[in-house]
Chains A and B, each alone.
Chain A
Amino acid sequence: MEKVSINGPLSGYRVLDLAGPLGLHCTKLLADMGADVIKVEPPCGDESRRIPPFKDDSPHPEKSLYFLHFNTNKRGITLDVTKPDGRAIFLELARKADVVIETARPRGMDGLGIGYEVLCAQHPGLVYASLTPFGQTGPWRDYKADNIAGLALGNLLYLAGEPGEPPLQPPGEIAYGMASTYGAFGIAVALYHRLESGRGQYIDVSMHECAAHIAGYFIPNYGYTGVKPARASRKGEETDLYDPYPTKNGYARIFIIPVEQWHRLVDWMGRPPSISGPEFEKMAYRRQHPEIVHKAISEFCMQHTKEELYDEGQKRRIAVTPINSAGEFIECPQTKAREIFVEMRHPVIGDYLQFGPVTRLSASPGAIFRTAPLLGEHNEEIYCGKLGFAKDDLVALRSVGVI
């Protein structure tokens, strides 16, 4: 059996991962920090293998770049837990695991005879996390929700996009991401508690509630003031706080909050008379006169490249950043200096840059050490090496579609 020793705080913990897209980032966070995450796929392959983009746009189950990103560091086995033999094997695996994660509909796992009560009865130390759209209780618990549905209910979608146009989904699945992150935090807390008590527990994560935590301060604001924000145009109706300004080569954003930052900006611009009056020092006043402010700052920015504005603005302690493309982010000096991307090789996709661990602990940093598993890649290693099956057994189990 493969032994990989990773210096991460979760080294030595084993995680059984039955999660769909909602929980992929959760088990990735755990795997990057050293946990041995075993991804349990149905014999036809996980649904995330069908999610684009694909290498060369070719929709092959081993070429999904989405699958590649979120499943690095995990080992992969195939198992049909709906079949009696599959269920028995899963129970055996769960006896030897520390954490089980699933994203089935509420009580879906109970229906298969592998729910929390069954697994906890055979192994009271087990930490079991259910990540679902609405949690295990409440009137909407059986409703379906994908990432965009989570963002819709969480108010984030309503605020994005131009007035008069449809609300606009963000790039990246941030409702899934927040649910996954909160799930990973809950699992870490439960493992910490287990070090003292020896007992595991059940964790119920609601994407719907996690999504409400992403949107900002609108819930407490509404509770105080009853004010209901609408979609705000990016065409200059908001000034200086959020506006992107055109430059010689794309856009830069200048983000001004305290008054000294405004002073620095106006000094840098050579104190143009149109915005140098003392009344412009007040953010409220600037917002009442967006056309003047936007025009002056835009004229200034158009004389520079976004990189020049970035370097000089930051030198002057003003929160300027270039609006980068994905490629510009990969190529920028900060990304390179911090080695955010790690060079990896996948047997089908070839050489690629894998996103590294985001939780950078100085003494136990974790690592990227394995590319995403091929379908059933670790069947033999785990079924024979760990559960004591013979190779003939695997042939028999394969013939009836259990693995």
Chain B
Amino acid sequence: MAKLPLEGIRVVELTTGAAGPTVARVLCEFGAEVIRCETRLRSDGHRGEDPKLWNKKPDFMKLQRGKKSFTVNMQTPKGRELVKELVKKSDVLVENFGLGILEKWGLDYPQLKELNPSCILIRVKGMGCTGPHAADLTYGPNVGNAMGTTYLWNYPGATTATAEPRTQHPDFMGGVTGAFGVVLALIQRKKTGRGQWIDSAQLEIGASLVGPKYLEYSVNHREPKPEGNRSLIAAPYGPYQCKGNDRWCVISVYTEDEWERFASLLEKSGLQRDERFATHFSRVRHTDALDKWVTSWTMQYDPYEVMETLQAIGVCAAVVQDVEDQFKRDRQYAATGFLVKMKEPEAGDVVTEGVPIRLSETPGKVRGLAPLMGEHTHEIAKTLLGLSDEEIKKLDEEKVLY
């Protein structure tokens, strides 16, 4: 089997939540050995509070798959000493606790550099490690609030504060961006032999994708407003209702060629063309009438029929899929094997997202299940930390390796 590109890179993870674990998860898929430090005294939010369910949580599976679990009590001096020993033998430390905790444990960058000058530290924070709000308590959605996307994610003229869904995209985008930063630091280390630290703020990563909105403010001196599904460069554009309960298909027509094929198709099915839709300019000016005209066609069909029919004539169309569709009707995921099935000893059959990029020489892969709580504690204590069976037994009894 081909060697994975990050084989030989050891990552120690001191994290909770999603963004930090995602950094290490992405590195793990490309060969890094990830040692997740955790404790039974205060289980991760994604494992949950109930020990009986620690190994049965789907979100934990997504975030922690392929890693090793090393249980250690950081409240004890011995526990902190063991983690420092691990860090001495590692290449990367990923952390995303509240500001101040890593400092207390003696692992912030000035102290880490003394232990292991070639180690790379990434600190994943909602607001970053500096500034008056560095110590804020934030979850993924808080970040969207601060950067303006919660406000902007809405229908034009809406009276409620937001229509954003229950997702935390800055967590996942931040995680992948963080992994990118770590690999850059590894490239730099090849040149200099030295490590460095990365101040990763989900706030900035999320906000950088709405950059043009901030330019509206700084160049045009006005506050951007929620725009809903409006577009000036495509018409038709947006979700169109289809046959069925709450079924939709998005359609985007950008060019006059695409429009000609689209309109001919609708005409053949018996709909009359309207002169207001003759040009892109005119279509944009009559969006409401256009949308009504398109919907009178889409409502007759299942959304997949709309998608396949339009794609067959070279028009961009995509079903607004729910998660069941992703499993059962997405032919592309089925063909590429994107949904990875594994057997979990306690939870049974589980499914998780695959690696969405394919490198021809050094492909990544989902390397295994999420670890059971403490699954690798003794193995790591013995092989990596060089502790004897007796010492391990004592540390177990003292609840240090706990």
Contact = CB atoms under 8 A, between A and B. Distances in A.
Interface stretch (A77-85, A86-94, A217-225, A380-388): A217-225
Interface in A196-210: 197, 199, 201-206, 208-210
A390 interface: no
A230 interface: yes
B299 interface: no
Contacts of B213: 171-172, 326
A216 B149 contact: no
B137 interface: yes
A97 interface: no
Interface string B28-43: 0010000000000000
B83 interface: no
Interface string B199-241: 1110111011111111111111001101111001110011101
A52 B232 contact: yes
A259 to B, nearest CB: 9
Given A169-B238, A215-B167, A364 B188 contact: yes
A189 B360 CA distance: 12
Nearest to B203: A334
B183 A216 contact: no
Contacts of A244: 145, 150, 160-162
Contacts of A160: 153, 163-165
Interface in B361-390: 361-362, 364
B300 to A, nearest CB: 18
A229 B166 contact: yes
A157 interface: yes
B357 A329 contact: no
Given A185-B183, A195-B190, A317-B137, A149 B250 contact: yes
Contacts of A318: 137
B128 A234 contact: no
Nearest to A181: B176
B50 interface: no
Contacts of A44: none
Contacts of A135: 336, 358
Nearest to B331: A139
Interface in B112-168: 127-128, 130-139, 141-143, 145-155, 160-168
Contacts of A184: 180
Interface stretch (B73-81, B308-316, B393-401): B308-316
Contacts of B314: 144
Interface stretch (A266-274, A284-292, A337-345): A337-345
B332 interface: yes
A172 B207 CA distance: 9
Q: Which of B130, B238, B322 lies at the interface centre, i.e. has the most chain A CB atoms within 10 A of its CB?
A: B322
A80 B137 CA distance: 51
A159 B165 contact: yes
A223 B147 contact: no
Interface string A222-252: 1111001111101100100010101000111
A220 B215 contact: no
Nearest to A183: B357
B296 interface: no
Nearest to B258: A144
Contacts of A370: none
Contacts of A178: 169, 172-173, 176
Contacts of A223: 58, 327, 339, 341, 349-352
A75 interface: no
A56 to B, nearest CB: 7
B146 A355 contact: no
Chain B, interface residues (CB within 8 Å), range: 35 or more
B281 interface: no
A166 B152 CA distance: 16
B184 A337 contact: no
B359 A326 contact: no
A325 B349 CA distance: 44
A392 interface: no
A224 B183 contact: no
Contacts of A201: 359-362
B5 interface: yes
Contacts of B133: 314, 333-334
Contact of B207 (A137, A155, A217, A355): A355
A25 B160 CA distance: 31
A68 to B, nearest CB: 6
B161 A234 contact: yes
Contacts of B109: 362
A157 B238 CA distance: 10
A361 to B, nearest CB: 5
Contacts of B6: 189, 192
Given A53-B220, A167-B320, A190-B362, A358 B26 contact: no
A191 interface: yes
B281 to A, nearest CB: 12
Given A70-B211, A161-B163, A167-B248, A219 B359 contact: no
B180 A363 contact: no
Interface in B325-348: 325-327, 330-333, 335-336, 338-339, 341, 347
B323 interface: yes
Interface string A9-38: 110000000000000010001000100000
B357 A186 contact: yes
Given A149-B252, A152-B319, A359-B180, A161 B155 contact: yes
Given A178-B176, A192-B183, A218 B323 contact: yes
Contacts of B138: 255, 319, 321
Given A235-B160, A257-B45, A219 B353 contact: yes
Given A223-B350, A337-B130, 13 more contacts: A69-B211, A69-B214, A140-B332, A166-B238, A172-B210, A219-B327, A242-B141, A257-B45, A314-B137, A327-B217, A341-B218, A353-B214, A359-B181
23 contacts: A145-B316, A146-B316, A148-B252, A149-B252, A149-B316, A152-B250, A160-B163, A167-B248, A168-B229, A197-B361, A224-B347, A244-B145, A250-B161, A255-B138, A314-B136, A325-B224, A330-B214, A332-B146, A337-B130, A350-B219, A360-B199, A361-B196, A361-B197
Among all A-B residue pairs, the 5 with the closest Cβ atoms: A223-B351, A209-B356, A159-B165, A69-B211, A149-B318
Interface of B: 5-6, 26, 30, 45, 56, 58-59, 61-62, 109, 127-128, 130-139, 141-143, 145-155, 160-169, 172-173, 176-177, 179-181, 183-188, 190, 192, 194, 196-201, 203-205, 207-220, 223-224, 226-229, 232-234, 237-239, 241, 246, 248-250, 252, 254, 311, 314-327, 330-333, 335-336, 338-339, 341, 347, 349-354, 356-362, 364
